[in-house]
Structure 1
Amino acid sequence: MAVVLFVGGLGRSGTTLVERLMGELPGVCALGEVVHLWQRDVRDDERCGCGARFSACRFWQLVGERAFGGWNQVDVYRVLALKEAVERTRHIPRLAGSRLPDDLRGLVEEYAGYYRAVYAAAADVSGATVVVDSSKHSALAHCLRWAPGLDLRVAHVVRDARGVAYSWTKTVGRPETDGADTMTRYAPGRSALLWNAHNAAFGLLARRGVPVLRVRYEQLVGGPVDELRRLAAFTGVDLSGTDLGFVTGTHADLRVGHSAAGNPMRFQVGRIPLRHDDTWMAALPPGQRRLVGAVCAPLLRAYGYPLRGTGAARTGVAATPGDQR
């Protein structure tokens, strides 16, 4: 079974960037946000990152054949019902225990089994030794912990909560629907609470023995080559001298991928700039900035973010695998 790198954290933290950069490494297959595969792709036939409709994407059709004998063999509504039943933030304290409660065990194992089948099939079709799922959801990561035989490793992506809060206030169209729909928006107070909850949940996952590597957005865009080396070592990817030739300190050259769902960045191909987006420092109103800073202060400090002044995290305090301290 291939290594599964689950890219987790609250949305707008740089998780899609991590997925796209990892997908350029040898032996790595980036799948996008598999959590949305069932509804947006299998049911609604939205577009793959390659631009084709899901039903017309050869890669995903081969994955479906290998995993289930075809996507028409998957009871999408059963998967979505399982998601509603077990993949909820409120269940994390129970999912994080040393054993699953009887009323959850069968449901969690069944739900995680769908993901395990997709990961194994994607690895077979692509020939990859690492598959990347950028689903982000902390509750899903806790469910996957219980999948038998799954070599699960987590890249916990964090970004200054004030930058995340500002990003959630912006209106962003969904290219999959040709602009008919927009991505979810949150008020700063709401995103601050979500930032705390999701990041704390990944800390709990690390304490339960799942290998977790913290990746800060600011450090990633400031030194992408070094961060990719850390991620490659974390997932067991051996790099040669030319494998990181697609990325520099200022840009990355991306190929077409097969991201199932996620941020609109999954459609970008070619040269993309890598820069620290600190627009929030001027654009987020002072009152909202103070509110988010106060609500998130303990974790901001823990992750090396100053509560006043610039949003750049301190360097030199990167977590080791399995260590969230």
Structure 2
Amino acid sequence: MVDSDPGGARLKVLYVAGWGRSGTTLMDNVLGAHDGVFTAGEITRLWELGYLEGRRCGCGDPVVGCAFWAPVLRRAFGDQPPDPRRLAALQHGSLGVLRTGALLAAARSGRSTDEATGYADILSRLYRAIAATTGCRVVVDASKRPPDAILTAMASGVEPYLLHMVRDPRACAYSWQRTVTDPSADGTRMHRHGRLMNVGHWVSWNVLIERLTQLLPPGRVLRVRYEDFMSAPRDVVGAVVDWLGEPVTDGPFLDDRTVDLPPNHTIAGNPGRFRTGEVGVRLDDAWVTEQGRLDRYVTTALASPWLRHYGYSWGRPTARSDVSLTAVSRADRPRGAGG
């Protein structure tokens, strides 16, 4: 049976946005280990990776055949799920990152396209089916992409929250050049980004995410820096949980820097989503001493207008020099953004 009743208490949906390698997967998994919170991982990848490529869920089974996702998908869509090829094509086309500005303008004016409203309805059905199955109060969608955040805000029957995660662009550049294998794809190497592509995406994604604050009510947007999260994980996660209006508990924390992560049912994300049991949370700042001079110079020069905005120094940093005393700060609306 299709669950299409939006009645009852509105479900909170936390959309985690940010350029890749910014700690979104770990934040997602730690939040999902709290009572009343369910993490779905990157829902945006369901159609292409889950349906079309048969990638594995965080539990290790194929997503669409997983003991959790199979009944959730039936509850959301009945025996006729949306065409995954069509939705994947939309994500690369009219609902893609390059269309974020147009999607935002249309959403603000109330003149969204049938494709956007149709996809928002699909998200609404998924979110509510997850909540009906698990009894959770908060669904975490760590899809990261700016356009999906707009579509989540358009979904009926939910209260959207936006968590914007940022990491020093030089650290992102270094991380994206590492060789990483993806266990969900039988050890296939994950895509790598060169320095120019990384900084271009870092700037454009963060600028677009800031513009999305126009679409949410005051108090529904929070920015967390990777460096602050990794240096004081227990405090930062507690602040995020409190911001969501949920009870602040130890959750999976065994101490200030160690979490005990249970198995999860994340659709996609960094390979770290497969780590369970005791996991130490540590700041990865290897780039400070190991990144090449050319990579650092190019990334710093191209991202320099935004470094200070996010609290990063322009010159050569030392370990943890970027970590602020205020671990979590509310995101400011960009200048000239309007209400």
Residue 263 in structure 1 maps to residue 270 in structure 2: yes
Mapped partners of 2:131, 2:157: distance in 1: 15
CA drift at 1:244: 3.2
Mapped partners of 1:306, 1:321: distance in 2: 19
Moved more, 263-272 or 308-317: 308-317
Residue of 23, 27, 46 corresponding to 1:37? 46
Aligned to 2:89: 81
Aligned to 1:16: 25
Mapped partners of 2:185, 2:69: distance in 1: 19
Counterpart mapping for 1:296-307 below 5 A: 296-307=303-314
CA drift at 1:35: 0.6
Whether the aligned pair in 1 keeps the contact of 2:153 and 2:216 (CA below 8 Å) is no
Report the residue type matching 2:14 in the other structure: L
CA drift at 1:56: 3.5
Mapped partners of 1:45, 1:94: distance in 2: 32
Residue 223 in structure 1 maps to residue 232 in structure 2: yes
Whether the aligned pair in 1 keeps the contact of 2:90 and 2:96 (CA below 8 Å) is no
Unaligned runs of 5+ in 2: 1-9
Aligned to 1:92: 100
Residue of 183, 203, 209 corresponding to 1:202? 209
Whether the aligned pair in 2 keeps the contact of 1:63 and 1:125 (CA below 8 Å) is yes
TM-score of the superposition, structure 2-length normalised?
Answer: 0.88
Residue 320 in structure 1 maps to residue 327 in structure 2: no
CA drift at 1:134: 0.6
CA deviation profile, 1:265-303 (whole Å, cap 9, x unmatched): 111111111111001112211121011111111221111
Residue 237 in structure 1 maps to residue 246 in structure 2: yes
Moved more, 309-318 or 83-92: 309-318
TM-score of the superposition, structure 1-length normalised?
Answer: 0.92
Aligned to 2:287: 280
Aligned to 2:128: 120
Residue of 192, 195, 207 corresponding to 2:199? 192
Mapped partners of 1:205, 1:298: distance in 2: 20
Report the residue type matching 1:25 in the other structure: H
CA deviation profile, 1:208-257 (whole Å, cap 9, x unmatched): 335210011111111111111111122221134xx435243222110000
Mapped partners of 2:252, 2:271: distance in 1: 24
Aligned to 2:185: 177
Whether the aligned pair in 1 keeps the contact of 2:176 and 2:193 (CA below 8 Å) is yes
Whether the aligned pair in 2 keeps the contact of 1:304 and 1:317 (CA below 8 Å) is no
Mapped partners of 1:143, 1:248: distance in 2: 37
Whether the aligned pair in 2 keeps the contact of 1:168 and 1:187 (CA below 8 Å) is yes
Mapped partners of 1:58, 1:49: distance in 2: 12
Aligned to 1:5: 14
CA deviation profile, 1:32-68 (whole Å, cap 9, x unmatched): 1001011211233221101122243211011111100
The 3 A distance-change label for structure 1 pair 286 and 322 is: closer
State the SS of the aligned residue for 1:315: coil
What is the aligned-residue identity percentage?
33
State the SS of the aligned residue for 1:262: coil
Residue 168 in structure 1 maps to residue 173 in structure 2: no
Mapped partners of 1:187, 1:302: distance in 2: 24
Moved more, 263-272 or 138-147: 138-147
Mapped partners of 1:304, 1:114: distance in 2: 37
Mapped partners of 1:202, 1:66: distance in 2: 31
Mapped partners of 1:45, 1:193: distance in 2: 31
Whether the aligned pair in 2 keeps the contact of 1:224 and 1:247 (CA below 8 Å) is no
Moved more, 80-89 or 274-283: 80-89
Residue of 5, 25, 40 corresponding to 2:34? 25
CA drift at 1:322: 6.7
CA drift at 1:196: 0.4
Aligned to 1:48: 57
Q: How many residues in Structure 1 have an aligned counterpart in Structure 2? A: 319
Whether the aligned pair in 2 keeps the contact of 1:164 and 1:191 (CA below 8 Å) is yes
Q: Note the aligned Cα RMSD (angstroms).
A: 1.9
Aligned to 2:162: 154
Aligned to 1:214: 223
Report the residue type matching 2:322 in the other structure: A
Whether the aligned pair in 1 keeps the contact of 2:100 and 2:208 (CA below 8 Å) is yes
Residue 108 in structure 1 maps to residue 124 in structure 2: no
State the SS of the aligned residue for 1:96: helix
